[in-house]
Structure 1
Amino acid sequence: MPRKLPFSAKRKKQQLRDRRERKRGDAPAGPAPGPGSRSGSRERGGDGPPGDPPSEPPRRHDPGRFRLQLGGPRAEALERSRRRAQQELLELLPESALELDPDGLYGPGLDFPRRPPWSFGMSPEELRAREEAAFGAFLRGLGDGAGLAPFEHNLETWRQLWRVLEMSDIVLLIADARHPALGVPPALAAHVTRDLGKGLILILNKVDLAPPAVATAWSHLLRARHGPARVVPFSTAPGPPAGPGLQKRQRKRGGRWGRAVGPRLLLEACEELVGGAVDLSSWRARLERAEQRPDGDDDEEEEEEEPPGGAGDEEDEGAGPGGVAPPRQWERYRHGVLTLGCVGLPNAGKSSVLNAVLGRGAVGVSRAPGRTRYFQTHFLTASVRLCDCPGLVFPSRAPPELQVLAGVYPIAQLQDPYSAVGFLGSRLALPPLLQLRPPGGRGWTAWELCEAWAEKRGYKTARAARNDVARAANGLLRLAAEGRLRLCFRPPGYSREKELWELHPDTAALAAMTGGGATAPPPTGAASSSEEDEGEESDQATPPPSPAPNPFAWLGEDEC
């Protein structure tokens, strides 16, 4: 009798799923590979050029319908980048090189896909065809994409943004405080304030990962560039000031949403924009109860209040004429409910902000971008509704390495992580921060940085037992994306006015709000904690060294 082949539970589930789809008459749809993955993207994009809309609408049971589609570099570019990482020496750039000009990222001529005019009298097929034609015209208007960073090519994800913008009364544009210029597309901000005539609040999330003076300078710059918008600093997990070296991963504890910084400032900004059109007293009362609650009881969930008009969806509206109509102006504050829509780039912290405002873990969060696939709505009170939108990557001229370090591009799907490591190593003094042994040659290259980190962490390949350079490169990029390696960009002209921003009154207020804030990047000779302490989780930035090395430290959790 022949030996049976192993059959996993995952394959059994897929077999049952395919059998059900065959009974329904649908073709089985396997999981589509991610953007830039080694398995290619033939299943997702077909044989056409990347960026073209699909020739037929996505199937109902397609698991890759909302998957990120950012594209990837070609084989020739990958080979050139690998040779450059092995040969070019890294030079530490001056502090002025950390200044990030928004005009250089989103220059003139760059827009984002807009929803074409539609009405409720259109059939779903007609509306889908109209949207696909408009999206295809938008992609063709960008030309061959020369000089553009990878951006979202999935029309389904843009449809989620259109829906959130239409149903929201106030749009919360959430940006990472370490690089706000990347997270605030001027075209989107102008579309919300001018075309839609809605309120806009710019939330600088993760202010605890940026120096208070830098966050204050970015706040003033955003107010000057986007006049009608309000700027609110936010932090879902404020902690003690950061020390020199590699920062420790904060220990997860219950009730962390109740310690967020910024919900009260967000409430005040919404009250200023609403102006009494909606009663927000229930939100203020709920916030006061949360602030008076002990820290140990923060994880207790409160029951959601029902809206006064039921579910409050828009499907009960009467159908309009079947012809082409201008974009529908949604009723403001429908049924006396204020709708707040959270939009922004992937991994900017939209879901975390929504959970912090709700005071509980209502939606899932992840360090990897693309966790939120479709928009979700949650009622904070009977008069306040929150809407979480999937993250979108807008067309820009930002360096792809900056997108990787910002956590926008999935690090696990990178084919060339070494260029991003070189980008990081030329702006942060990684060898003293990570306590790497100096190479025997004339200096450091991106490849040697990864090889030294693999040697320090013990990353080896399975067969030849060589240093796993690719794993080390991915680990360094994850440390930067998580904020354990602090790379914070400055607004234009910050170096000349650094002393002014450090002595600004808003800087002291922000530092007190976040519990001290983050310090500036340490000098070149700063030392980090010992290797034994790197494998342990702690709330302190630099815990005291142990009296004796732990011979079993390599058995601990691999944080990198």
Structure 2
Amino acid sequence: MPRKRPFSAKQKRQQLKERRERRRGDAPQGPDSHPESRSGSRERGNAAPPTDPGDPSTAPRRHDPTRFRLQLGGPRAEELARRRRRAQEELVELLPETALELDPDTIYGPGLDFPRRPPWSYAMSPEELRGKEEAAFGVFLEALKDQRGRDGDGDVAPFEHNLETWRQLWRVLEMSDVILLITDARHPALNVPPALAKHVTEDLGKGLVLILNKIDLAPPSVATAWSHLLRARLPSARVVPFTSSPRRPQKPGLQRRQRRGGGWSRAVGPWQLLEACESIVGGEVDLSSWRARLERAAARGEEEEEEEEEERAAAAGGDTEATEDGDDPTGPPRQWERYRHGVLTLGCVGLPNAGKSSVLNALVGRSAVSVSRAPGRTRYFQTHFLTPRVRLCDCPGLVFPSRAPPALQVLAGVFPISQLQEPYSAVGFLASRLPLPDLLQLRPPTNPSGWTAWDICEAWAEKRGYKTAKAARNDAYRAANSILRLAAEGRLRLCLRPPGYAAQKEHWEQHPDTAALAALQDQGDPENRGPPPPEALTSEEEEGDSGEEAGPGEAPPPASTAANPFALLAEDEC
């Protein structure tokens, strides 16, 4: 047996580096491998004849792991440094209740649009269509940049720059008959882009349903006010409050972490969504199978539902058709035909972390698609048959161009918290609208004049024991991320109000629709499940969590403590 040639660690690292560059396409494909390769053979795929880099038909197709990732622009280094100094120096003052009011016109003003798919035909090749879409997307970015320069109203908030994700939206809009725009009930003004709603209702001529999701994180009176505002601004759209798993009303203080997932039949809102779709379809599609499915779900118990979910998960089959990355999303889809083959297609679209996948799971009645607290979990659209006559389509979340404060995007869970370089300004934005020191029960600051955003982060790091690895100092960065995650998860509930809510607060609290929302909160109980009463408006309370709530200083229930004395260790805030 011949003796192997020596191969140093440095040469091995260089070889791995070149392989990574070739996979990403950063380095040209050489005819031979590294000169110091052990075998001296060619790399896989290099034996093929040389190709023309300018010819897209002969360009090699490689797997790109970053193809569907969120690509949001961030601030510059100078802006980050300025925000950091402000968080350390400026005192945080609690603003009046009117500061919680948010006007949608300040978020999506004139001149802000979203990229549209250019006209195409089956005569185009995939390469021609791909090039046309890239050119149209470049024109959109240039027009948005020029509009921003003419207005002089400041920079546009970070939005999606990944064309592959926009292609997913285009396909869902083309193949769907009714669009379900999923909005977060805590801040609907951020989750309802007027350009998208106008494009669906006027340009495409399709039905639009606004699902006011996560109602359990907003007071019923606020949800009612938002519902009336959305109906007034979008008369052709239906508004359906939704909840994946109703919970008990919130108590003062930091909310306890709830169990997520499972028990999808407790959702409140599928009946109202069925009625909205029936009014849009108008008898052109037979939706009796959907109604029968909801009646069966209301009749069976929760234990039977969990057993059935386990059996379906083990069988991994049934009425589900998941469309993942098998087809090229740039290729032209099947020509749209309204209610093709008598099937109603519902497309779930919206911003990241709005709960699109949770709504789909609640409608299907099981964990059909994966969900996560971090935005960007769904990277490509998936289709699932609810019944033989109803098909659901889950679209990745997109961040539309807007003038929303970046801190609001972070608190809404739109911007990934793990990618933040400067989280302290978002903590200051939250502390000016919620009494964070009281909610988190922090020690008084050393500065007698008041709290700063940096002081709040350091106090929370000291309470939680977050220390840096080298100097064992309070890890303010980790503490800031922890606070922001509490807000994104709804444990620190920042619920924005529609404009003029403070002046009409008593009116909305005594509104009949508010009482109807509160009454439908009990629809999620197993003994009370069933069709909603005719006089009820729609549901309240959402987001796949069930359990009790307690403030940070309250003790756990005695029964759970007796069963497990270490149960409190599982209630970590981060």
Q: TM-score, normalised by structure 2?
A: 0.80
Number of the residue aligned with 2:226: 218
* Amino acid across the alignment from 2:289: S
Residues 348-363 of structure 1: pairs in structure 2 closer than 5 A: 348-363=354-369
**Which of the numbers 347, 354, 376 marks the counterpart of 2:353?**
347
1:411 and 1:477 in contact (8 A); partners too: yes
Once residues 245 and 59 of structure 1 are traced to their aligned partners in structure 2, the CA distance between those partners, rounded to angstroms, is 53
List structure 1 segments (4+ residues) > 6 angstroms apart after TM superposition: 1-5, 550-554
Number of the residue aligned with 1:539: 548
- Would the alpha carbon gap of residues 182 and 258 (structure 1) be closer, same or farther in structure 2, given more than 3 Å must change? same
- Would the alpha carbon gap of residues 275 and 556 (structure 1) be closer, same or farther in structure 2, given more than 3 Å must change? closer
Q: Report whether the alignment pairs 1:373 with 2:387.
A: no
Once residues 57 and 241 of structure 1 are traced to their aligned partners in structure 2, the CA distance between those partners, rounded to angstroms, is 58
* Amino acid across the alignment from 2:505: K
1:118 and 1:328 in contact (8 A); partners too: no
Please report how far the alpha carbon of residue 293 of structure 1 lies from its aligned counterpart in structure 2 after TM superposition: 1.1
Once residues 116 and 251 of structure 2 are traced to their aligned partners in structure 1, the CA distance between those partners, rounded to angstroms, is 45
SS at match of 2:44: helix
Number of the residue aligned with 1:119: 121
Once residues 67 and 296 of structure 1 are traced to their aligned partners in structure 2, the CA distance between those partners, rounded to angstroms, is 38
* Amino acid across the alignment from 2:406: P
Deviation string 1:108-139 (CA, Å, 9 cap, x unpaired) is 11100000010111001110111011000000
Number of the residue aligned with 2:172: 164
Once residues 334 and 119 of structure 2 are traced to their aligned partners in structure 1, the CA distance between those partners, rounded to angstroms, is 8
* Amino acid across the alignment from 2:122: F
Aligned pair count?
Answer: 490
* Amino acid across the alignment from 1:227: P
- Would the alpha carbon gap of residues 499 and 164 (structure 1) be closer, same or farther in structure 2, given more than 3 Å must change? same
Number of the residue aligned with 1:23: 44
- Would the alpha carbon gap of residues 555 and 206 (structure 1) be closer, same or farther in structure 2, given more than 3 Å must change? closer
Residues 91-110 of structure 1: pairs in structure 2 closer than 5 A: 91-110=93-112
Number of the residue aligned with 2:530: none
Please report how far the alpha carbon of residue 440 of structure 1 lies from its aligned counterpart in structure 2 after TM superposition: 2.1
* Amino acid across the alignment from 1:184: V
Please report how far the alpha carbon of residue 329 of structure 1 lies from its aligned counterpart in structure 2 after TM superposition: 6.7
2:181 and 2:211 in contact (8 A); partners too: yes
Please report how far the alpha carbon of residue 147 of structure 1 lies from its aligned counterpart in structure 2 after TM superposition: 2.1
**Which of the numbers 249, 253, 269 marks the counterpart of 2:257?**
249
* Amino acid across the alignment from 2:440: L
Residues 384-395 of structure 1: pairs in structure 2 closer than 5 A: 384-395=390-401
Q: Report whether the alignment pairs 1:471 with 2:471.
A: no
Please report how far the alpha carbon of residue 24 of structure 1 lies from its aligned counterpart in structure 2 after TM superposition: 3.8
- Would the alpha carbon gap of residues 187 and 277 (structure 1) be closer, same or farther in structure 2, given more than 3 Å must change? same
- Would the alpha carbon gap of residues 462 and 123 (structure 1) be closer, same or farther in structure 2, given more than 3 Å must change? same
Q: Report whether the alignment pairs 1:428 with 2:449.
A: no
SS at match of 1:514: helix
2:266 and 2:523 in contact (8 A); partners too: no
Residues 125-144 of structure 1: pairs in structure 2 closer than 5 A: 125-143=127-145
Once residues 43 and 520 of structure 2 are traced to their aligned partners in structure 1, the CA distance between those partners, rounded to angstroms, is 58
Please report how far the alpha carbon of residue 328 of structure 1 lies from its aligned counterpart in structure 2 after TM superposition: 9.3
1:240 and 1:515 in contact (8 A); partners too: no
Please report how far the alpha carbon of residue 463 of structure 1 lies from its aligned counterpart in structure 2 after TM superposition: 1.3
SS at match of 2:503: coil
Please report how far the alpha carbon of residue 452 of structure 1 lies from its aligned counterpart in structure 2 after TM superposition: 0.4
1:306 and 1:379 in contact (8 A); partners too: yes
Q: Report whether the alignment pairs 1:558 with 2:572.
A: yes
Deviation string 1:420-474 (CA, Å, 9 cap, x unpaired) is 0000000001111111111121100000000000011111111111000000000
Number of the residue aligned with 1:179: 187
Q: Report whether the alignment pairs 1:337 with 2:352.
A: no
Number of the residue aligned with 2:518: 511
Number of the residue aligned with 2:492: 485
Once residues 160 and 306 of structure 1 are traced to their aligned partners in structure 2, the CA distance between those partners, rounded to angstroms, is 19
Once residues 187 and 328 of structure 1 are traced to their aligned partners in structure 2, the CA distance between those partners, rounded to angstroms, is 25
Please report how far the alpha carbon of residue 555 of structure 1 lies from its aligned counterpart in structure 2 after TM superposition: 5.8
* Amino acid across the alignment from 1:251: R
**Which of the numbers 455, 462, 476 marks the counterpart of 2:469?**
462
2:247 and 2:547 in contact (8 A); partners too: no
- Would the alpha carbon gap of residues 180 and 120 (structure 1) be closer, same or farther in structure 2, given more than 3 Å must change? same
Please report how far the alpha carbon of residue 544 of structure 1 lies from its aligned counterpart in structure 2 after TM superposition: 4.8
Deviation string 1:241-279 (CA, Å, 9 cap, x unpaired) is 1000000111347x4211111011000100000000000
Deviation string 1:221-257 (CA, Å, 9 cap, x unpaired) is 000000110000001121001000000111347x421
SS at match of 2:72: coil
Please report how far the alpha carbon of residue 220 of structure 1 lies from its aligned counterpart in structure 2 after TM superposition: 0.4
1:241 and 1:516 in contact (8 A); partners too: no
Once residues 57 and 164 of structure 1 are traced to their aligned partners in structure 2, the CA distance between those partners, rounded to angstroms, is 28
Q: Report whether the alignment pairs 1:271 with 2:242.
A: no
1:243 and 1:541 in contact (8 A); partners too: yes
Once residues 175 and 96 of structure 1 are traced to their aligned partners in structure 2, the CA distance between those partners, rounded to angstroms, is 22
Once residues 71 and 139 of structure 1 are traced to their aligned partners in structure 2, the CA distance between those partners, rounded to angstroms, is 13
Once residues 59 and 497 of structure 2 are traced to their aligned partners in structure 1, the CA distance between those partners, rounded to angstroms, is 43
* Amino acid across the alignment from 1:260: A
Deviation string 1:316-343 (CA, Å, 9 cap, x unpaired) is xxx99xxxxxx99721000110000000
Please report how far the alpha carbon of residue 25 of structure 1 lies from its aligned counterpart in structure 2 after TM superposition: 5.3
SS at match of 1:173: strand
Once residues 203 and 433 of structure 1 are traced to their aligned partners in structure 2, the CA distance between those partners, rounded to angstroms, is 30
Backbone CA RMSD of aligned residues: 3.3
* Amino acid across the alignment from 2:359: V
SS at match of 2:84: helix
Please report how far the alpha carbon of residue 143 of structure 1 lies from its aligned counterpart in structure 2 after TM superposition: 1.3
Number of the residue aligned with 2:406: 400
* Amino acid across the alignment from 1:391: G
2:319 and 2:384 in contact (8 A); partners too: no
Once residues 516 and 331 of structure 1 are traced to their aligned partners in structure 2, the CA distance between those partners, rounded to angstroms, is 37
Please report how far the alpha carbon of residue 556 of structure 1 lies from its aligned counterpart in structure 2 after TM superposition: 4.9
SS at match of 1:298: helix
**Which of the numbers 246, 250, 260 marks the counterpart of 1:238?**
246
Once residues 476 and 424 of structure 1 are traced to their aligned partners in structure 2, the CA distance between those partners, rounded to angstroms, is 9
Once residues 103 and 247 of structure 2 are traced to their aligned partners in structure 1, the CA distance between those partners, rounded to angstroms, is 29
Please report how far the alpha carbon of residue 476 of structure 1 lies from its aligned counterpart in structure 2 after TM superposition: 0.2
2:201 and 2:208 in contact (8 A); partners too: yes
Number of the residue aligned with 1:37: none
* Amino acid across the alignment from 2:511: H
Once residues 58 and 360 of structure 1 are traced to their aligned partners in structure 2, the CA distance between those partners, rounded to angstroms, is 40
- Would the alpha carbon gap of residues 273 and 24 (structure 1) be closer, same or farther in structure 2, given more than 3 Å must change? farther
Please report how far the alpha carbon of residue 370 of structure 1 lies from its aligned counterpart in structure 2 after TM superposition: 0.3
Please report how far the alpha carbon of residue 400 of structure 1 lies from its aligned counterpart in structure 2 after TM superposition: 0.4
Deviation string 1:376-417 (CA, Å, 9 cap, x unpaired) is 000011010000000000000000000000000000000010
**Which of the numbers 364, 389, 394 marks the counterpart of 1:383?**
389
Please report how far the alpha carbon of residue 514 of structure 1 lies from its aligned counterpart in structure 2 after TM superposition: 2.4
Number of the residue aligned with 1:290: 297
Deviation string 1:16-50 (CA, Å, 9 cap, x unpaired) is x969x952459xxxxxxxxxxxxxxxxxxxxxxxx
Identity percentage of aligned residues: 73
Once residues 298 and 554 of structure 1 are traced to their aligned partners in structure 2, the CA distance between those partners, rounded to angstroms, is 29
Please report how far the alpha carbon of residue 516 of structure 1 lies from its aligned counterpart in structure 2 after TM superposition: 10
Specify every segment of 5 or more residues in structure 1 that has no aligned partner in the other structure, as ranges.
27-53, 321-326, 518-536
- Would the alpha carbon gap of residues 150 and 279 (structure 1) be closer, same or farther in structure 2, given more than 3 Å must change? same
* Amino acid across the alignment from 1:75: A
- Would the alpha carbon gap of residues 283 and 57 (structure 1) be closer, same or farther in structure 2, given more than 3 Å must change? farther
Number of the residue aligned with 2:443: 437
Please report how far the alpha carbon of residue 540 of structure 1 lies from its aligned counterpart in structure 2 after TM superposition: 2.9
**Which of the two has higher C-alpha Rg?**
2
